[in-house]
Amino acid sequence: MLEYDVVVVGAGLAGMRAAIEAAKASKVTVLSKVHPVRSHSGAAQGGINAALGPDDSTESHAFDTVKGSDYLGDQDAIEILCREAPDDIVELEHMGTVFSRDANGRIAQRPFGGAGFPRTCFAADITGLVILHALYEQMLKTGIKVFEEWVVTSLVVDDNKIRGIIAIDMRSGRLEAIKAKAVVLATGGCGPVFHNSSNALISTGDGMSLAYRAGAPLMDMEFMQFHPTTLKANGVLITEGARGEGGHLLNALGERFMARYAPQKMELASRDVVSRAEQTEIEEGRGIDGCILVDLRHLGARKIKERLLQIRELAIDIAGVDPIEEPIPVRPGAHYSMGGLKTDVSGATLVPGLFAAGECACVSVHGANRLGGNSLLETIVFGRRSGKAAGEFAASVAAPAFPESAIRDADARIEGILKRDDGEKGYALRRELQETTHENLGIYRTAGRIQRCVEKVTEIKERYASVIVQDKGRIFNTDLVSAIETGYLIDLAQAMAAGALAREESRGAHSRRDFPSRDDDKWLKHTLAYWTPNGPRLDYLDVTITKWPPAERSY
C-alpha cells in the first residue's frame, strides 16, 4: 500500500498551494480527477483581491467583505484573509504569475462588485489559468508526486481519526489505497447541484460529501451564489470584470435598471443584489427571452480586445454575439458555494487530521454572499495555511493503522453498482435533481417550494439506492464515476434544502419571499449540517464578530 504523510485531494489552486506548503514539513502527494491545469480554478476570469494601493487598506477590504457577507462571515477569518492578501499576491508574482500592469508598470487593479476600491488584480480575463500554471510549475519544482486521473471515492476514518483515502485509478480501473497521517481536501465547488451552473462538470462536491458522510459537518450550505451574468445556453460565465471595466446592464426597454436597486454602486453592487434585480426585471416582463443584456459597446474595440478577449470569444462562439457590435444576453446562474466543510483558520475540520481548503471549505470568509475576487484569494491564503497545518500535524503524529476492511467495503460498493441491472440511470436522476433545485431552490425561495425540493430530493435519494450504469467495465469507466458523483450531489442538495427551509429570514444569497428581512435576533448564526442515514441533522454556531457589528446593508 502507498504511504504518505499528507495526501492532498485536488490540484486546483487551493490543493497545489496547500501541497507546496505541506511539503516543507512532510512527504506529500496530490491526487486529481483531471490534469492539474484542467481544474476549475483555470476558468476563473476576473481576478484576485488584495489591498495593494497606497490609498486602499486591508481594513477597508475586510469591511467590504464583512458587509458583502451580510454579516454572516466570521470576522477573525476575514481579517486574516485581507491582512495576508498583499504578501500572497507578491509571492504569486515571484512564483511567476504575470499580472496585467497599469500605466506606471505596477500591478493593475480593476473595480469589482461590493468593493469600495479598485482592488482586483488580474491577468487580462484568464487570471485563474495564469496562477494555476505558476503553481503547477512550483509544484513540479518541489518534486511532489501527482496521481492524475485518480478519483477519490472514500475517506478512511477510524476511531474519529483520518487513516487515508481510497481512489479509483481511472486508467487501470483498480482501487488503490493510500495510508496517510493527514488529508487535505481541496476538491472545489458543487455548482452542478443546480441546472446550467457556471462550474465545470467535475465540480461535484466530492470532498464536501465524503467528509460529511465521514462525520465532519457542513456549514451554511443554503447559501449558493447566483452569478448575475451567465450565458443562457449552458451557464458559461461572463466575468464580473466585464462590469468592472465599465459594462452596463440593460433591460428590454434599454434602461440601466440597476438605478432602481442600487443607485450608488449600480452594476457593481454585490452579486446577490444584482442577481435579484435581474430576476425581478425578468419576472416583471422587462427581460428578453428570459435574459437581460450586458452592454460593452461603449468600451470600444481596443479595450474589449485587450482586457476582455476571452469574454468576446465565448460570446461569439456560444451566444453568436460580438460584444463590440451587440450587447450579450445573460441571466443569473448557480456559481459558487459559500457553504462547505466547517474549518478553523488553519483549515482543520472537526475530524482530527482532516483539513479542507478552497471552495470545498467554509472558514467562513464569505458568509451569506461572496465578493468577486475573494475566492481565488481564499484558495491561496487558506490553501497555504491548511498546507502548513497539515504538514506540521503529520510531522508530529505516528503513522496510523489502516483498516484493510475499508478496501473490501469500497470494492463491494463499486461491484454492487456495476453488477446491478435493475434500477435507474445515474444521469437521469441527476437531471431530476437539477430540475428540482433550479425550480424550487433558486434566487427567490418560499417555504412551500423549499419543502417540495426537500421531498423530491428525499425521493431521488431513495431511488438512487438502486442506481445502474451501462458501462460494466472497470477501465476508464466515466459512467461509473458520474453515477458516484450524482450520489454526492444528492447528499449536498439535501443539506442545502434543509438549511434553507429552517432559515426563516433573507440574508445574502438566501432570499425568502415569505421572510423578506434579515433577522439578526434569530438568525445571526451559522448552520451546521451533520450527516445521518435519515437526512441532515441541523445545529447552529455563533458568528464571530470582532470590529463590525451588523448594520443595514445598501449599495
Ligand X SMILES: Cc1cc2nc3c(=O)[nH]c(=O)nc-3n(C[C@H](O)[C@H](O)[C@H](O)COP(=O)(O)OP(=O)(O)OC[C@H]3O[C@@H](n4cnc5c(N)ncnc54)[C@H](O)[C@@H]3O)c2cc1C
* Interacting residues with ligand X (CB under 6 A): 9-15, 31-34, 39-41, 43-48, 127-128, 150-152, 186-189, 198-199, 202-203, 206, 237, 239, 336, 358-360, 372-376, 379
Instruction: Find the shortest distance in angstroms from Cβ 481 to ligand X.
Output: 8
Q: Which residue has the cell 463590440?
A: 324
Q: C-alpha distances in angstroms, 434 versus 212, 279, 442, 554?
A: 21, 19, 11, 32
Cβ proximity to ligand X: between 203 and 275 the closer is 203
Nearest to ligand X of 43, 429 (CB atom): 43
By C-beta, is 85 or 467 nearer to ligand X?
85
Distances (CA, A) of 529 to 226, 491, 553: 22, 11, 27
Q: Give the C-alpha separation, 383 to 21, whole Å.
A: 8
Q: Give the bridge partners for 356, in sequence order.
A: 185
For ligand X, which is the closer residue by CB, 280 or 346?
346
Whose Cβ is closer to ligand X: residue 45's or residue 75's? 45
Q: Is 243 assigned a catalytic role?
A: yes
Angle at CA 319, nearest 5°, toward 313 and 321?
A: 70
Per the CB < 8 A criterion, the answer to whether 13 and 169 are in contact is: no
Residue 241 CB, shortest distance to ligand X, in Å, is 7
Question: What single-letter DSSP state applies at residue 36?
Answer: G
Closest separation between CB of residue 178 and ligand X, Å?
11
- Identity of the residue, 79 or 485, whose beta carbon is nearer to ligand X in the bound complex: 485
CB of 148 to ligand X, least distance (A): 9
Catalytic option among 17, 227, 449, 553: 227
Give the helix, strand, coil percentages of the chain, each rounded to 5.
40, 20, 40
227 has catalytic annotation: yes
> Least distance from C-beta 32 to ligand X, angstroms?
4
- Distant-in-sequence, close-in-space partners of 319: CB < 8 Å, separation ≥ 6: 231, 232, 233, 328, 329
Selecting among 110, 119, 243, 366, the annotated active-site residue is 243
Following DSSP, what letter does each residue of 291-344 receive, concatenated? BEEEE-GGG-HHHHHHHSHHHHHHIIIII---TTTSPEEEEEEEEEES-EEE--
Closer residue to ligand X, CB minimum distance, 272 or 505 = 272
Q: Report the DSSP pairing between strands 175-185 and 354-356.
A: parallel
Closest separation in Å from C-beta 494 to ligand X: 19
End-to-end, the C-alpha distance of the chain in Å comes to 56
CB closer to ligand X out of 198 and 511: 198
**Concatenated DSSP letters for 446-478?**
-HHHHHHHHHHHHHHHHHHTTEE-S---STT-H
Helix 13-22 vs helix 127-142: angle between axes, to the nearest 10 degrees? 30
CA angle 230, 232, 235 (to 5 degrees): 50
Query: DSSP readout, 460-524?
Result: HHHHHTTEE-S---STT-HHHHHHHHHHHHHHHHHHHHHHHHH--S-BTTBEESSS-S--HHHH-
C-alpha cell at 214: 465521514
Q: Could you list the active site residues?
A: 227, 243
